[in-house]
Chain A
Amino acid sequence: MTRYILKRLLQGILTVWFIATATFFAMHAVPGDPLSGDKAMTERIRANLEAKYGLDKPLMTQYGIYLKNIAQGDFGISFTQENRKVNDIIREHFPVSATLGILAILFAGVGGILWGALTALYRNRLPDTIIMFLVILGISVPSFVVAALGQLSMVNLNTFAGFSILPIGGWGTIWHMIVPSMVLGLSTMAYLTRLMRSSMLEIINSDFVRTAKAKGLPATRIFSQHQLRNAILPVITVLGPSIAAITTGGFVVEIIFAIPGLGRYFVEAVQQLDYTVIMGTTVFYGAFLVFMVILVDILYGYVDPRVRVS
């Protein structure tokens, strides 16, 4: 197991290096450079600025410095916000995105597992039909429409109540987090529901469930001890990629609900062509996702002993 973890970690570091390299050379392949922006400047100012950002050195030297800095966890200074470190930007905005993402994953995971189990138990009956219809709808409606509808229903709810039950945007208290995280987790929940349903259907017809029934175990115990625990396994495998989907999907929700998260900041940085912020957040997000997937894979080994053997 230790060997496996080490191997995966090594692979992860290689992947992050690949992402960093791809981002670096991609950004340097862009026609023009960060300084040829809107402001006209003299040769001397330009030379000074280039020296400040290290743009006067040869490309490979810059790459070496860049890699060394990343290895030390330093992403440089923002181009558009003078003297603001990219690390500070990430430190300030990432916790917000992470909180939102964790809540969304919790919502998606718990909801998906429960709905999926429920639909499987009521297979081809009314609850199944209704939930699966909603699930298909949840997969088919774009996230920004769901976000807009979520906000609209909050507005209507507040108008109906006559006072502000839930804030329609911003960040701060737990009340700000409820609707955005539900909106963010919705499509993942729909996907997990489908997965859970098919996995549960397989489990329901398996031998050990029949044996449990034959032993005379109560239905609730069969459900919690035998069916649910085994059916959850495939859901855990896709949790890694789901985290990726939720963090990237966070852009829209952060924009619509005016949440000061890193996703929104990234979109702004791209619009302003803030090169160091773009590179820094890309590498940071990439590393985060890679290690989340590895973490989920390792956890999976603990949850399902069969994986450890193979």
Chain B
Amino acid sequence: MATSNFSADAFDPVDQHQQTHGITRPSRSYWQDAWIRLKANRRALYSLYLITGLVIFTFAGPMVWQVNPDLQDVDQISQPPGADRTVTLVEPFQPWYGNPATPGEGLRFAGPATTQGVQLQWDPIPGASGYRIYRNIYPVGAEKAYGLPLKENRADQTYFQDRLDLKPQTYFYSVVALNVAGEELPNALSLAGQLTRVITANEARRRNLLLPDEPAISGDTLTLALHPLGTDYLGRDMLSRLMHGARVSLFIGFFAPILFVLFGVAYGSAAGFMGGVSDQVLMRFADFVVALPFLLFMILFKVIFAVGPGESGIAPMLVAMVLLLWPATARLVRGQVLQIREEGYIDASRLLGAKTHYLIMRHMIPNTMGVILVTLTFAVPSAIFTEAFLSFIGMGVAPPTPSWGSMCNEGIKTMLTTPHELFFPALFISATVLAFNLLGDGLRDALDARMRNRD
């Protein structure tokens, strides 16, 4: 038999209040636990960072980047980010009436091709009783796509000066011979040229590119204002517009969901608490509202608020979303309330003398909070989408006010030539929606009580 090494006091009764060694971990509240689990979810955490960054971008951004979003920089229209910003100083514009002595043959430039004016000179085409001058931004090609007709000249006028909305890019000019009837003959002259951006001294002083007392020497190069994300089709700064547009988009994105979720919570918990006939009536009404075609009524609200086409309708948008989107939350909260009402701890609490008020504050609200928070997170991207969609079809924010949706609407028209005007607002919408979707996924997992203690 093995010898025992138990001492005699090992058989004494244990002091009931003595701390046994820890088999428990420190007590954590529901929210602490959820937060720890959310932090473990890398995608959700990065989304949270992204959203924080976005809020900073929206509210602190305009303080750092103090460019007026409505200001037009007419020298830089539809410029992509990183575009050439140099501009050459030139003498003021002088009218020009052709110079047949221009060296060269066929169609040629009679001077430097600048954004101030392009001087074209050509040799007479035999048999032509007139000329039509065209300009294209693409090569003419075999299908004879001459582009934009600029002017018709008599046969003796073999020169033309183009001053129509010139941009610093490559243009393809064509001069087509016309017969007596004014019909185009097959013989045409073509010329391609890259325009240099120029500015006169007066103009440069007016835009603060030159100091008033600084001497202006023709041929000097200056640098135009910086636009980190380029400019739109009216020469407005994209970065500044994105920052200001974010205010509208995020305002709708945050406030509409907060309001309709709050309303839904109040409605749903009221229905759940009252029960019986009033519950039935309230929920039947919610079913009706669900059935209303959302977008149609949203547009109707704009009409009801007497916001005509071409006016900003942020208020009707907000009201319409609140009035139409609450039933989903109401249903969810009602279900939760009905479920929690039957729980044992509610009965226990009642037995201990808790009043309804206490039950709501202590049990109902904290226990439904998780579901509500998740609903809220998923409601944000759909609200942002709705705002963008309405602004896109011209029913939301009207042109002078920037919003991501209206910027997309404007950018889509020039998608083929300047894709950055569509790309940046679309990127911001997508990134925001993505972040909220991932955060919502993370929150749902983190707040799910069944997942608790499953580390």
Query: Which A residues lie at the B interface, using CB under 8 A?
Result: 11, 14-15, 18-19, 22-23, 26-27, 29-32, 136-137, 139-145, 148, 152, 155, 244, 248, 251-252, 255-256, 266-267, 270-271, 273, 278, 281-282, 285-286, 289-290, 293
Contact = CB atoms under 8 A, between A and B. Distances in A.
B429 A271 contact: no
Interface string B372-409: 00000000010001001100111100000000010011
Nearest to B413: A148
B294 A248 contact: yes
B303 interface: yes
A140 B385 CA distance: 9
B210 interface: no
A142 B300 contact: no
A290 B293 CA distance: 9
A4 B111 CA distance: 85
Nearest to A147: B412
Given A155-B416, A270-B303, A282 B296 contact: yes
B394 A271 contact: yes
A290 B291 CA distance: 6
A144 B291 contact: no
A142 B434 contact: no
B312 interface: no
Given A285-B296, A286-B293, A289-B291, A26 B304 contact: yes
A147 B415 CA distance: 12
B437 A139 contact: yes
Contacts of B385: 142
A29 B304 CA distance: 7
Contacts of A29: 304
Interface residues of B, number: 40
B296 A148 contact: no
A183 to B, nearest CB: 13
B323 to A, nearest CB: 10
A57 to B, nearest CB: 22
Given A244-B293, A248-B295, A252-B389, A141 B300 contact: no
Contact of B306 (A22, A32, A145): A32
Tell which of B292, B306, B431 has the most Cβ of chain A within 10 Å.
B292
A248 B293 contact: yes
B433 interface: yes
Contacts of B437: 136, 139-140
Interface in B422-447: 422, 426, 429-431, 433-434, 437-438
Contact of A144 (B306, B412, B433, B434): B412
A29 to B, nearest CB: 6
B296 A31 contact: no
A267 B416 CA distance: 25
19 contacts: A11-B287, A15-B291, A19-B292, A19-B293, A26-B300, A30-B303, A30-B304, A136-B438, A141-B429, A142-B392, A142-B408, A143-B389, A145-B408, A145-B430, A248-B296, A252-B392, A285-B293, A285-B296, A289-B291
A32 to B, nearest CB: 7
Contacts of B412: 144, 148, 256
| Chain A binding surface SS class | helix
B92 interface: no
Contacts of B422: 145, 148
A26 B295 CA distance: 15
B309 interface: yes
Contacts of B288: 14-15, 18-19
B238 to A, nearest CB: 16
A94 B393 CA distance: 20
B282 interface: no
Contacts of A22: 292, 297
Interface in B292-345: 292-297, 299-304, 306, 309
A289 B293 contact: yes
Contacts of B294: 244, 248
Contacts of B299: 266-267, 270
Contacts of A31: 306
Given A23-B300, A252-B389, A270-B299, A140 B416 contact: no
Interface in B239-258: none
B293 A273 contact: no
A273 B287 CA distance: 29
Contacts of A266: 296, 299
Contacts of B297: 22, 26, 282
B392 A282 contact: no
Contact of B433 (A32, A139, A248, A278): A139
Contacts of A244: 293-294
Nearest to B435: A140
Contacts of A271: 309, 394
B291 A19 contact: yes
A252 B392 CA distance: 9
A179 to B, nearest CB: 15
Given A143-B389, A144-B408, 12 more contacts: A22-B292, A140-B381, A141-B429, A141-B433, A142-B405, A144-B388, A145-B429, A152-B415, A248-B294, A252-B393, A282-B300, A286-B293
Interface in B19-60: none
Contact of A30 (B291, B306, B429, B430): B306
Interface pairs A-B: 4 shortest CB-CB: A140-B434, A140-B433, A145-B426, A248-B295
